[in-house]
Copies of this chain bind each other. A is one copy, B any other.
Amino acid sequence: MHDFPVPDVWLPHRVSYGETDTMGVLYYAEYLHLFERARNEYTRQHGIRYSVVEQRGIFLPVREARCRYRAPARYDDLLHVRAGVSELKRASLRFVYEIRDQDKRQLLAEGMTQHAFVDKGGRPVAVPPWFREAFLK
């Protein structure tokens, strides 16, 4: 059985030609772009715009990223990218992701990104209460 954290969001994404490679499939680095799009969508759906977070002097650089590639995606495929938060600690955050096919049935890839909360100078800061509240409801 597969547990995915709630709440989650789904983002549809059509594979473009420029995202594919000579093997005729979605290039492996593009999955990290899709993860980013999905976590932005998660953030937006929880009432936070990441651009506003940065305006408040808080940044969430990626400390680690992982992806497992289970089945290829091809040009013009409609994918669904799922994002959720699996961990929200004092000064860090972990997103998890799935990429599924058109019917959301076949799992094509899964991954995670670990983020730190830092100020403009790169120093760790605690997750602000307004962020924590909005993010997990």
A69-B61, A72-B61 in contact; A21/B23 too (CB < 8 A)? no
The reply to whether B23 and A27 form a contact with Cβ atoms under 8 Å apart is: no
How many Å lie between the Cα of A63 and that of B25 in the bound state?
A: 13
Which DSSP category, helix, strand, loop or mixed, fits chain A's interface? mixed
A residues 1-45 near B (Cβ < 8 Å) are 14, 16-18, 20-25, 27-30, 32-33, 36-37, 40, 44
| B contact residues around A113 at 8 Å (CB) | 28
Q: Given A50-B75, A51-B74, A63-B68, 16 more contacts at CB 8 Å?
A: A16-B36, A17-B22, A17-B40, A18-B29, A29-B32, A29-B36, A40-B76, A50-B76, A51-B75, A51-B76, A61-B69, A61-B72, A63-B69, A64-B66, A65-B65, A66-B66
